[in-house]
Structure 1
Amino acid sequence: MYKVACLVLALFAVAYAIPSAYDTEHVWRAGNLSFVIPDNAVLGGFDPYGFNTYVGRVKYINDILPARVVAETGVAYFNTPTVSSKLLIYDILLADRYTNYVWVRSFNGFYEKGAVAVGTTAKNERVFCCRAKTDGGVLIGTLLLSEKLCIIKHETLPLRKFDKYEVLVAQPVNGTIY
């Protein structure tokens, strides 16, 4: 009986120990306040203070999450369905000559062809970049297809969930074959 219980416990631990994974399909560069934002960084919107924000990603506990990076402060803001926070270490998305990044209107967790995933959660669910107009800015948020909502929070303002939003999509430049 002891061996069976240990085996069940081990299988349970393995099933829930799936690590999150970073996206390797797109070009990401490590960043912080010490690094200059590259010219080919993908613009994500602007915050309530008027600063441009760039598409980034952060590792938070066991999840890889989208972030809005403010170059002037070197801070990356991110959200989960329950938590909003900021980090000083992040990756920033860079455009290349073979890919155009565009924001496409979407709704209710619909999967847009070419949607940019920053990585996965600890439960191996892909996490996508979304954005919406809120709180005096156009802010990047977190889109989990299972949640069917774009989740955005800015500093002390309440957490907001949007069923209509824009999602970041990578489109190949004419003639490029993926």
Structure 2
Amino acid sequence: MYKLICLLVVGLFAGALCTPSTYDTEHKWITGNLSYPLTSSVIVGGFDPYGYYTYIGRVTYGNNILPARVVAETGLAYFNTDKVSYKLVAYQLLTTQPTLDYEWVRSFDGNYEKGAVSVGTTHWNERVFICRAKADGGLLIGTLFLSLKNCIIKSEDLPLRQFDKYEILVAKPKTN
């Protein structure tokens, strides 16, 4: 009986550690790529150094779900981990909802802001949030891991930037 209980406890512990990343289901995300028309309900997140508007997106990279800055004209989603950056053509876009208002709130040092929008979780089951900061001539969307306490922004032609002061996207119930 003791062996069975130990085996069960070890199995539960291993199962918890092997939890795959999960998507945020609180907000409405739609599939996007260059062949889909851009709807009016997608949310602008900033602009890149080349003058393109960037939209709030998310991508799956390995076992992580990460925020992305999507340039609709090129059909590319730029995203980064805490060390490297990539681009993909498969992504999802955040859209407005009739019951929520989205706004950017100033934050710092990994503080959790009430209503912060999470894109999902990492492979180690940490929630990942959407942040942005002014960098290299643009207002760029980045990745916020609360444990690292920085908004991390990187793209292929820009150096890795870590901001301890940034804006975080929050969702608030609409008031009439």
Query: SS where residue 15 of structure 2 aligns?
Result: helix
CA distance in structure 1 between the aligned counterparts of 2:35 and 2:156, rounded to whole angstroms: 23
Equivalence for 1:41: 42
Q: Percent identity?
A: 65
Equivalence for 2:165: 164
Equivalence for 2:111: 110
Deviation of 1:13 (Å): 4.9
Letter in 2 for 1:40: S
For residues 118-166 of structure 1, what are the alpha-carbon distances to aligned partners after superposition, in whole Å with 9 as ceiling and x for unaligned? Answer: 0011111100000000011000000010000000012222110000000
Gaps of 5+ in 2: none
CA distance in structure 2 between the aligned counterparts of 1:111 and 1:11, rounded to whole angstroms: 29
Equivalence for 1:67: 68
Letter in 2 for 1:38: T
CA distance in structure 1 between the aligned counterparts of 2:61 and 2:10, rounded to whole angstroms: 26
Letter in 1 for 2:85: S
After superposing the two structures, state which structure 1 stretch, 44-53 or 14-23, moved more: 14-23
CA distance in structure 2 between the aligned counterparts of 1:127 and 1:78, rounded to whole angstroms: 12
After superposing the two structures, state which structure 1 stretch, 41-50 or 10-19, moved more: 10-19
Equivalence for 2:19: 18
Equivalence for 2:84: 83
CA distance in structure 1 between the aligned counterparts of 2:99 and 2:16, rounded to whole angstroms: 38
CA separation of 1:83 and 1:11: change in aligned 2, threshold 3 A: farther
Deviation of 1:87 (Å): 0.6
CA distance in structure 2 between the aligned counterparts of 1:104 and 1:75, rounded to whole angstroms: 26
Letter in 1 for 2:159: P
Equivalence for 2:121: 120
CA distance in structure 2 between the aligned counterparts of 1:172 and 1:14, rounded to whole angstroms: 35
For residues 21-46 of structure 1, what are the alpha-carbon distances to aligned partners after superposition, in whole Å with 9 as ceiling and x for unaligned? Answer: 00000000011111112101111000
CA distance in structure 1 between the aligned counterparts of 2:150 and 2:14, rounded to whole angstroms: 29
Deviating beyond 2 angstroms after TM superposition, the runs of 4 or more aligned structure 1 residues are: 7-16
Letter in 2 for 1:64: I
Question: How many residues matched?
Answer: 171
CA distance in structure 2 between the aligned counterparts of 1:35 and 1:82, rounded to whole angstroms: 31
Query: SS where residue 45 of structure 2 aligns?
Result: strand
CA distance in structure 2 between the aligned counterparts of 1:27 and 1:12, rounded to whole angstroms: 32
CA distance in structure 2 between the aligned counterparts of 1:12 and 1:153, rounded to whole angstroms: 35
CA distance in structure 1 between the aligned counterparts of 2:78 and 2:61, rounded to whole angstroms: 11
Equivalence for 2:147: 146
Letter in 1 for 2:78: Y
